[in-house]
Amino acid sequence: MIKYILKRVLMMIPTLIVISMISFVVIQLPPGDYLTSYAASLRQEGDRVDEAELEMLARRYGLGQPAYVQYYKWVSGIILRGDWGQSMEWRRPVRDLLWERMALTVAISSISIIVSWFVAIPVGVFSATHQYSVPDYLFSSLSFIGAGLPGFMIALVVMWIAMRQFGLNVGGLFSPEFIGAPWSWPKVVDLLQHLWIPVVVIALGSTAGSIRTTRANVLDEMNKPYVETARAKGLKERKLIWKYPVRVAMNPFFSTVGWTLASLVSGQTLVAVVLSLQTIGPMMLRALTSQDMYLAGSFLLLLSTLTVIGTLISDILLAWVDPRIRMEG
């Protein structure tokens, strides 16, 4: 097992290097350089351009020097000092913009994933063990509808019903008086009162797909020889189902941790825009549309790195659950 993990960790290193290079290329894509764009944005807003600040930024990022020097300064700044660059639009360090919304993004997405798994796994197992029954048809119909409806449409419908029937504005994560206020117990309570709506909207689509996946995998495993042998030995059906077929059916859930970990940060961007959530998704979209390249490149690097780390976690979990994987050599 240790040899298996070390092999996967060593494979991560060249992958992360290539990802950082691609992210740096994204930063360099707009015409001109960072200082030209930054000075142009200041003049467009009528602000005075501070030549000393521009000179400091040029030394900081190695602008005007060869591309490999700029790449080294950017990567070394991230690794050694946590310096992700400067946002042109927000005029703040990218690091501050990333981490101030990270906690809310991770909270919403992780709770949504947990809710989705806690609903999808029991429902999928029940649907598989009661194949072609009325509940099976009902759950299958609901899962198809849930998988077919985009999340932003569900968010729009929820907002319309809340406003039309109850006169409530369910957008955002905080009431107006708590936006920008320091953290306190009343602010946490207000967050919890608003949190359930985005959690339900985001979890609905993934729950529908997970139900279909669980049902199909359990059905594939239920009649295999090892299950028939356990059944012939007199093992109770409920214990047999959860001990053997369900355990193997969990492999797809573990194998999707790679992209799930990245979705903890990016979240459902369109849903976040519709519901006015203070998460990273809308900020990433805004950075791309406004060509705030250090901010956009940092998002790309962060999400790609989390995907690689998530893939490593998936490999470890799969090897732990299924001995066939770690014994493949």
Q: Which amino acid is at 83?
A: D
How many CB atoms neighbour CB 17 within 10 A? Answer: 11
Mean pLDDT, range 128-152, rounded to an integer: 86
Q: Is the pLDDT of residue 267 over 80?
A: no
Helix (H, G, I), strand (E, B) or coil at 222: helix
- The sign of the torsion formed by the CA atoms of 276, 278, 280, 284 equals positive
- Stretch 291-298: mean pLDDT: 78
Q: Tell me: pLDDT of 292 over 80.
A: no
For the chain, how many residues are written?
329
Q: How many CB atoms lie within 10 A of CB 70?
A: 19
pLDDT of amino acid 32: 64
User: Which residues are 86's β-sheet partners?
Assistant: 93
Residue 258: the pLDDT is 65
Q: What CA–CA distance (Å, rounded) separates 127 from 325? A: 28
pLDDT band at 85 (very low <50, low <70, confident <90, very high): confident
Q: Which long-range contacts (CB under 8 A, 24 or more apart) does 127-136 make?
A: 127/211, 127/214, 127/215, 128/214, 128/215, 128/216, 128/218, 128/219, 128/222, 129/218, 129/222, 129/241, 131/219
- Judged by phi (left if over 0) then psi (alpha if -120 to 50, else beta), residue 85 lies in left
pLDDT at 329 over 60: no
Q: Are 309 and 8 in contact (CB under 8 A)?
A: no
Do the beta carbons of residue 8 and residue 312 sit within 8 Å? yes
pLDDT score recorded for residue 265: 60
Give which of 116, 111, 103, 117 is closest to 265, Cα–Cα.
Answer: 103
User: ∠285-287-290 over CA atoms, to 5°?
Assistant: 105
Residue 251 is predicted with a pLDDT of: 77
Phi, psi of 265 (to 5 degrees): -95, -50
Which tokens hold the place of 118? 């806690």
Tokens at 204, concatenated: 């609905």
Q: Is the pLDDT of residue 263 over 70?
A: no
Mean pLDDT rounded to a whole number for the chain: 80
Phi, then psi, of 93 in degrees rounded to 5: -60, 140
Domains of the chain, first to last: 2-81 (no CATH), 104-326 (1.10.3720.10)
Structure tokens at 110: 């992780």
The confidence band for 126, taking pLDDT boundaries of 50, 70 and 90, is very high
Kindly report, residue by residue over 141-189, the tens digit of the pLDDT: 988 888 788 878 888 888 888 888 877 777 778 887 777 777 788 888 8
